[in-house]
Amino acid sequence: MKTEDLIAIDTHTHLEVSCWNPFDRYGEEYDRAADKYFGSSTRPTMAEALAYYREQKIGFVMFTVDAETQMGRRRIPNEEIAEAAQANADIMIAFASIDPHKGKMGAREARKLIEEYGVKGFKFHPTVQGFLPADRMAWPIYEVIAEHRLPAIFHSGHSGIGSGMRCGGGLRLQNSNPMLLEDVAIAFPDIQIVVAHPSWPWQDEALSLAMHKPNVWIDLSGWSPKYFPPQLVQYANTLLKDRMLFGSDFPLIMPDRWLKDFEEAGFKDKVKPLILKENAKRLLGLG
């Protein structure tokens, strides 16, 4: 990635539309609920996402979420994202997502994606994937990630997915309490764990965990910065300034909107470059 040419690195973006596989309409009611929650129905293709980020001069990390076991919905291929990143390495980095219920088969896939496709990290969503982060079924996948010293992003806090649906779509918010990551952080100190999003209603737990465990980071995706809890801004400006990351949650929140609100959210001028790019460079090994 040509970081010197970029104004920022967005560490949290999603591919929602596959150009390899036909659209899987199963479970589409979750998309409609998310559209209502976020006030957006935008689902860009890979080509559209690349064009947008090039125009904005923002590098980005992209992934999908493999939740086939709980959701019953065919995933977007990890290889589709990885091959796009290989072809656009100046601006894009691929993370993979593997359903933890796949256990050792998932670990085999993780190794292949790292060694043959150059994947640089992994994304987990305990609420949507239906697992507790410290469940031993996920250990084989974590072991591969740790062996290669790659980062792993975990969704935390409330989820727009399922919000407003009957029974919340059967998804459990409690799985995404950031404190449930503590056992993973202890067992796998070589994994840099990124706690995704302001972790409402557990923001203080996320800050405590990051303060206590040096391999825990926080990304600021999924919310406009103008709605960030005051304590999140306080710690980003001080004790955790070196482990806070810009993330948008594209396409549900667009980076240009996030960056505009970021300028007015109370972050110190000396901290802004760390959050926007420098911390991500360290996390991703970009020098």
Task: Give the pLDDT band of residue 47 (cuts 50, 70, 90).
Answer: very high
pLDDT at 49: 97
pLDDT at 40: 74
Task: Give the pLDDT band of residue 70 (cuts 50, 70, 90).
Answer: very high
Q: Say whether pLDDT at 30 is over 90.
A: no
| CA gap 278, 269 in Å, rounded | 14
Nearest to 183 by CA among 144, 136, 252, 115: 136
Q: Say whether pLDDT at 76 is over 90.
A: yes
141-150 average pLDDT score: 98
- Euclidean distance between the first and the last CA atom of the chain, given in angstroms as a whole number: 10
Please tell me whether residue 187 adopts helix, strand or coil conformation: helix
Q: Say whether pLDDT at 221 is over 90.
A: yes
Please tell me whether residue 138 adopts helix, strand or coil conformation: helix
Question: For 33-44, what is each residue's pLDDT tens digit?
Answer: 888 888 877 889
Helix axes 46-56, 78-87, angle to 10 degrees: 40
Q: Which residues pair with 13 in a beta bridge?
A: 62, 250
Nearest to 8 by CA among 221, 226, 222, 156: 221
pLDDT at 35: 82
Question: For 119-140, what is each residue's pLDDT tens digit?
Answer: 999 999 999 999 999 999 999 9
- Which CATH superfamily includes the segment(s) 3-283? Metal-dependent hydrolases (3.20.20.140)
Q: Say whether pLDDT at 101 is over 90.
A: yes
pLDDT at 253: 92
pLDDT at 23: 81
Handedness of CA 25, 31, 36, 41 (dihedral sign): negative
Contact 14, 43 (CB under 8 A): no
Per DSSP, 81 falls in state H
